[in-house]
Structure 1
């Protein structure tokens, strides 16, 4: 627990308990054990200060504030124990369409899937028959019904004693609004979960999973038709990231009525309410407006510099609020690294952006570092490439956007190779016919912008991928890279007309479990054989082969 995070109503930081643990540690441990044994959490410990964070500059009503709850350290200690247990089991409980707050899942997983679905329904011959609906829940955390939470905890098999602790923590809470630094009178909520409580994200995700089950049950009985991106791949009907929902269905009146019925049923039971003002509908064909999901454009037209002009505008807007002349050079460098260059990082993780966009942003950052402004340039005394060198080489450690963009895409490519059980990997592999573990190249015909971007960086990524030998049954000995510094062995063979190209590394081992040197010397030069001998031969008990 961070030592100096904002304290609750008792005023004690976590640092106090950490520094005095030798004195109070045993008492706190006994109290925590007592809570899990059935002891109620004290009302004063479950009192919460609520601070209101403005969502925008010109506020008109209270709905434009974001309430953040400041819970006491002892309360969070109990709840953290439960949250850490939930963190371990939720990947096995929550459906793969939900990417929020689940370990090993990432916001980019859903962005990738949404981009591919939009691309597929636009490319379908009957694409006009499909629709994407982006839904927003009004005050999502504040409206959750407590009885619904209890019922769902019971449904997923949470033990009764733990369920009682959770429901006691939720229902026995009291709140005070911190208004201009002064707490208001206490009041007790009748529903909702607190933003700021470590357990709230997990409870919310658990509740949202029921909506996914409702949709899937209608798919199973044939009432809902999801989008199929390929013949063999999984169908996609919905994607959730916490309370950000996007639903895909046929653009038909019957499907619209079914969706309304499902949403009404979900809202009646859970207490949620759909915000029609913030929800959007996107028709696959005939729509020229860009569609955004989780802040990222779902590209479906030709990508140009103007496509990402909003990113350049965000950086420019931030620069306009600063006066470079009043900041020391060290301060300008720190702001450039931690603020300016972090703005585009989120948007460049799932697509290759035009070089002109990178150049425009780096131009503004470079001008700011040297003390210039929008209308007044300053002479750059050091080359930009030198500034972008690591500190150990005399640079300032600034990362070039193009390199960052390539790194993010290589991360996606590496995930395609390794994360075979993830939903987004299933979809991409099936859609584009990815059959080999490490293919030689990527097919670019009729592909999305993401896949086109991956095809651009694939030769560089493939050069750095290699196999670690386990049992030797998955590695193709001639086509796959498994000897460090050599690459595929087929490149070292002058002629391979009589060679079995589909044999595996296990076939290069003799009956004694050692490398078959006679076979290797028939095909390979001596320096390659020496490298192979330095590698332990495959063994049945060594586990499966892995890509590293």
Structure 2
């Protein structure tokens, strides 16, 4: 490329950044100048340069050598002869192939100009087609947003009456594939059409145009959500749920996965490179044919030594008929977005269309448990090769993953669920993977204890599963041979290694390794993902954790994430990387500080610049809870110490305290003590409105755009509704969120000097929290006092209503009111209070407390009213999430609670 800024005449400047290396040649005055840039990772050496060319020798990671020459021709036609002479001289200087010879199908395109008088040149290295493309059906989650999808599945399922479920799936797949191309194949055109309609209708104010505008806007939101669902299904980022939800990020993630998993060439057994044109498909076929070919096995010798451990109850459980609930549980416990199988169907299809396909699915599972065989095609699987490292070279660098049909997974999951209750009695205790509560890190701890034990032993007593002698090594070899014959599996000796104590002689080590066909474990070897040995310098041994975090943060993902997306990436992915090692090791302070510094730089780094960014807050403050002004990031050092503290027995601290708490149930604040935990719903209407006001202020200051306050509030409410729907995991549309409000009816005021206390309860956060509203008014309908109470815990709505009555009676007990009428819209609570039957449940205990209080109070009456007459108490209960544990008078009541209260004032 032409490079005009001066870089010091006749000198080369190597500028190293995170991703780019630059080589520049000075211009001559205000013209000329050259620059060559390339990504780090490829080794390049300079062959020569001039004012018209830069010639380099490139060595790729796989050892391939080639030549890259950047040539800038003479702009003066009379001197073009010098350019051709230079090109001929360069061709004679070196025999390495030029870049163009390696990419013969590359394309060169002259792009349009902007402000410059030069046209940029875009060079695209198009790879030669390796094989003919094959379209494979894949069920799209985006189709589920269209009602027509369910109709197609229903019609296909009803069309085939005599065929099996595989025939129905095949017909359903072909029909959906043909219909779905119009849905997921034209996102850009559909979005453009909706935007054009909105642009045409935006200036009209008649009722018909307004209705069409709303319909076009709904359609635009629907298409955008379909596109987001389409790319999210391919991105496979299950961690990104509470942060960004953008199609661009998912699109790039899917593109990166496809490029990373692409296989271009591999080495054969002779260490020769083989590509798709020279028999790579045959190399892969031969490898898996050898790998998956069953060999002669003999398990009688091993089985004869195993006693019967399956109890008769387990046999009866395994052989009983399969119920509908078992099959449904197996289907709905699968992750909906797992990779599709040979028939193209994902678990989402069966979960969302269960009302259509459940009869055939249950019948197939029951048939297998009766006959022991699958229908044709049900047991098929796709073998997918996942690279184990960045640039795989041999077949052993690829991990085969079998993608089985969902129906096959359902059968195996039903079998697994039946076996779970009996695993601890069937499987030996030494098999830690089958023991509930046992972690893989426990095996790591055992291995370290063995190695520490070996260091204190003499040569004759050196143990590594056996004594360090040839006789013991032969016994290990015999055990491995029996294991292979009995299980049909082969031990991968290339990945196996042997540890020896420091006292073992080198000759003995080499002899044992030669017998077992294994290598000696080095100091930097790993076992179950952790270092096998730990030296005195733990910082050096555990330094790989720092490198893992750095490599994860250096990826492109952070460039396309907002602050919310970065927060989720840090909490869900980055800070989880050292967690496995933290279960075993106490991380050195240096490692912890380095990781925290990397996270801090990533958090404050802008999306356009990899290095710059102002650190507005220290790391210690970022680790504080959001309620305390921080971001809730984890402090690694404190987390490790807290983990060790949590390993203490709870009875040492809370043994007597918990019993004391249980004995004070009748105390008026007992349920607060049991349920109150520090928590807050940070995503509330107030925060969203403040954010919208700030955005409107910025638009006014920087773009001179003014907004109506009512429009700002309406925008904030719409945005919050869409955000809340985006956090839900179901496939329902997020647009129809406008809730029908209750019709306000007149409230009946009490007579004389008596007062009326209205009570209601509300549930929040999917039942994780509940609020209670208490409103006391006089005969004129004026507010005497109001209260809001917020509780944490999962309770039934009827129990929340009963707790509200109990709080109301406790409030009356402490006040000086006379003749109080308590009203609630929960008929079950009122009937339970007036009933003499005792109920043995938590609900019954609350009702019992209410009865005791009523017996000690004079002129207090509890009655039932309809929901429409309890609007004010309902609004107070809903406001408990915004104003937890607050009391209001007529002068201090929030403005959003005034409309319902004023509407019931008696004039």
* TM-score (normalizing by structure 1): 0.51
If asked which structure has higher relative contact order (CA below 8 Å, sep 6+), I would say: 1
Q: 1:276 to 1:72 in 2, by over 3 A?
A: closer
Q: How does 1:82-481 map to 2 (within 5 A)?
A: 82-100=415-433, 102-124=435-457, 126=458, 129-132=461-464, 248-285=465-502, 289-290=523-524, 292-322=526-556, 327-371=561-605, 376=611, 378-410=613-645, 413-414=647-648, 464=653, 466=655
Contact 1:329 1:370 in 2 (8 A): no
Contact 1:121 1:127 in 2 (8 A): no
Contact 1:370 1:380 in 2 (8 A): yes
In structure 2, the gaps of 5 or more residues are 1-333, 504-520, 660-907
Contact 1:52 1:66 in 2 (8 A): yes
The C-alpha deviation readout for 1:116-135, integer Å capped at 9, x for no partner, is: 111122123x2673243xxx
Secondary structure of 1:285's aligned partner: coil
Match of 1:454 in 2: none
Contact 1:48 1:69 in 2 (8 A): yes
Of 36, 50, 53 in structure 1, the residue corresponding to residue 369 of structure 2 is 36
Aligned-pair CA distance for 1:324: 5.6
Secondary structure of 2:433's aligned partner: coil
Match of 1:491 in 2: none
Aligned-pair CA distance for 1:404: 2.3
Query: C-alpha distance in 2, partners of 1:329/1:35?
Result: 51
Q: 1:462 to 1:83 in 2, by over 3 A?
A: closer
Q: 1:59 to 1:101 in 2, by over 3 A?
A: farther
Match of 1:48 in 2: 381
Aligned-pair CA distance for 1:39: 5.8
Q: 1:392 to 1:65 in 2, by over 3 A?
A: same
1:14 aligns with 2:347: yes
Contact 1:46 1:72 in 2 (8 A): yes
Q: 1:301 to 1:464 in 2, by over 3 A?
A: farther
Aligned-pair CA distance for 1:291: 5.2
Aligned-pair CA distance for 1:298: 4.1
Q: 1:127 to 1:397 in 2, by over 3 A?
A: farther
Contact 1:51 1:68 in 2 (8 A): yes
Match of 1:153 in 2: none
Larger radius of gyration: 2
Query: C-alpha distance in 2, partners of 1:340/1:376?
Result: 19
Match of 2:39 in 1: none
1:57 aligns with 2:57: no
The C-alpha deviation readout for 1:371-405, integer Å capped at 9, x for no partner, is: 07999464311122221122333322211111222
Contact 1:324 1:372 in 2 (8 A): no
Query: C-alpha distance in 1, partners of 2:431/2:391?
Result: 33
Aligned-pair CA distance for 1:359: 0.9
Query: C-alpha distance in 1, partners of 2:375/2:401?
Result: 21
Secondary structure of 2:386's aligned partner: strand
Q: 1:467 to 1:254 in 2, by over 3 A?
A: farther
- Tell me whether 267-276 or 105-114 shows the greater mean CA deviation: 267-276
The C-alpha deviation readout for 1:286-337, integer Å capped at 9, x for no partner, is: 5982553212124554354223212112222223334866654333333222
Query: C-alpha distance in 2, partners of 1:34/1:276?
Result: 41
Q: 1:85 to 1:395 in 2, by over 3 A?
A: same
Q: 1:467 to 1:282 in 2, by over 3 A?
A: farther
Match of 1:524 in 2: none
Contact 1:130 1:284 in 2 (8 A): yes
Aligned-pair CA distance for 1:469: 9.5
- Tell me whether 48-57 or 298-307 shows the greater mean CA deviation: 298-307
Aligned-pair CA distance for 1:348: 0.9
The C-alpha deviation readout for 1:431-476, integer Å capped at 9, x for no partner, is: xxxxxxxxxxxxxxxxxxxxxxxxxxxxxx8974647999xxxxxx
1:76 aligns with 2:409: yes
Query: C-alpha distance in 2, partners of 1:303/1:73?
Result: 49
Contact 1:315 1:361 in 2 (8 A): yes
Q: 1:376 to 1:283 in 2, by over 3 A?
A: same
Query: C-alpha distance in 2, partners of 1:67/1:335?
Result: 28
Secondary structure of 2:361's aligned partner: helix
- Tell me whether 103-112 or 302-311 shows the greater mean CA deviation: 302-311
Contact 2:523 2:532 in 1 (8 A): no
Contact 1:48 1:70 in 2 (8 A): yes
Secondary structure of 2:436's aligned partner: coil
Contact 2:534 2:541 in 1 (8 A): no
Secondary structure of 1:250's aligned partner: coil
Aligned-pair CA distance for 1:51: 1.5
Contact 1:87 1:103 in 2 (8 A): no
Contact 2:340 2:346 in 1 (8 A): yes
Q: 1:101 to 1:67 in 2, by over 3 A?
A: farther
Q: 1:271 to 1:389 in 2, by over 3 A?
A: same
In structure 1, the gaps of 5 or more residues are 133-247, 418-460, 471-548
Query: C-alpha distance in 1, partners of 2:522/2:641?
Result: 29
The C-alpha deviation readout for 1:524-546, integer Å capped at 9, x for no partner, is: xxxxxxxxxxxxxxxxxxxxxxx
Secondary structure of 2:339's aligned partner: coil
Q: Please give the root-mean-square deviation of Cα atoms over the aligned residues, in Å.
A: 3.2
Q: 1:21 to 1:291 in 2, by over 3 A?
A: closer
